[in-house]
Structure formats: C-alpha cells, structure tokens
Amino acid sequence: MGGDEDGSSPLGNGTRSVRYWGKTGGLAFFYGRGPNSFSLDYQLPIKESRFIRDRFFTIYPGIGRYHEWIKHRLRHKDRTLVNCYGRKRKFRERWDDALFRTAYDWIPQSTVAHKINQEGLRFLYENQQWFAPVEILNQVHDDIWFQISLDHPWQIHADIITRLRDSLSTPISWEGTNFTIPVNEIKLSPKNFKNMEKANISSSSSQEVSKELSHVYQRFLE
C-alpha cells in the first residue's frame, strides 16, 4: 500500500497507519462488505476503498473462494451451514447480499463463541478445584475478563492461566484438517481494564509464566 507498516499511510487524510487500513479493511471485506459502504463509513474516496479491497483479495485469494463456497453450500444444502463443532444454522432470510454477509461470518464467529463458552467459561465453572480463586467479570466475543486476588502467589495465577490456555488451545477439526487457535498472551492490570500490559503466556512451563506475570506486574509499580 505504501508507507511503513506502523507509520502513516497515504490513504485517507494520512493520519492512519498501513496496519490500521489492512486490519480494518480485512475485517470488513472478509465478511462481505462492499467498497461503497466502506468508503462511506471510513470517509475514504471510493477509489482508495476499492484499492484496499482489491489488495486484500490479492493477498488472501482464499477469502474469495470461501465466499463462493458459502454461496454454494447455501444453494445446495437447503440454506444450512455447519460450524466446526457440528452446530447447524438454516438461513431463512431473503436471498441477497445481506444474507451472504451474515453467512460469511457465521462459521468463524460461532466457532469462536462455542470455544469461549465451552472450553473457556464452562471449563472454569466445572473445575472449581483449580479455579476457585477466579472471579469472572465479563465475556465479550473472543475475550474472557476475570480477576484473581493478589493475595494468591504468582504461581497460583500461572497455574490457572496455563490450564485455561491449554483448554482454549484444544484442536478443532474442520473438513478433515485439525488446527488450533493460539493463545499466546494475556492482558493484565492491577487496577483497571484501561491501562493494561501484555504478558507472554506461550511457555509450556507454568513456572516461566509465573515469572512473566510477576515481571509485567512490576512494571506497573515502577
């Protein structure tokens, strides 16, 4: 697109980064948005909106094939889709672009929602022998917000987080392919959800995760 990935981009008024337009455009066009509505929502000239869309589909040609696959399934499978966990949905709305946009996002979003609810929240609730110190605060799409008292040592925090991470990393099977959704980091703060720091929790050792949590926490005290 031109410009540095994290620097300013020539698109729009020049105040947004290439990374911003790539991520924003990717989310929009993956789920079937058109360049006209994208142009209106983000105050871009239509030419630039089309440029972002075309670049997205050039870099990720599989997305266009996915859209065609969804339409084919709706047409030939009684308007019914099945997500990665076997859940079904029949799309009864008018046969138009709005239906297609809803269908494009249903498999990935419903799969993530199932994973968060079953392998995240339910796993926490049903295993209180490990998770009694956890106070769940909120759940938003692909996030679980919770708190653990600082009265508990960091190793307890780390044991809780690594068990939850491992549950959320349970492999998913789709069309004969197994894959995982990586859970490599967590955001934490001793006070609120506004000023948060990332902690790397990818280590297989809960002792290493404990050290990382302690290290990040110390930065708040400096």
What is the DSSP code (8-state) at residue 120? I
Count of domains forming the chain:
3
With respect to residue 170, please indicate whether it lies within any of the assigned structural domains: yes
State whether 147 and 175 are in the same domain: yes
| Confidence at residue 12, expressed as pLDDT on a 0 to 100 scale | 64
- At 108-149, the pLDDT tens digits run 999 999 999 999 999 999 999 999 999 999 998 889 999 999
Residue 164 lies in a domain: yes
What pLDDT does residue 4 have? 43
Do 153 and 217 belong to one domain?
yes
What does the pLDDT average to over 174-188? 91
106 shares its domain with 137: no
Structural domain of residue 34, as residue ranges? 1-59
Q: Where are the alpha helices (DSSP H) in the chain?
A: 18-30, 35-42, 46-59, 61-76, 97-114, 123-126, 128-131, 154-168, 206-221
Cα distance between residue 35 and residue 41, in whole Å: 10
Q: Tell me phi and psi for residue 81, to 5 degrees.
A: -115, 155
* Pair 6, 28 in one domain: yes
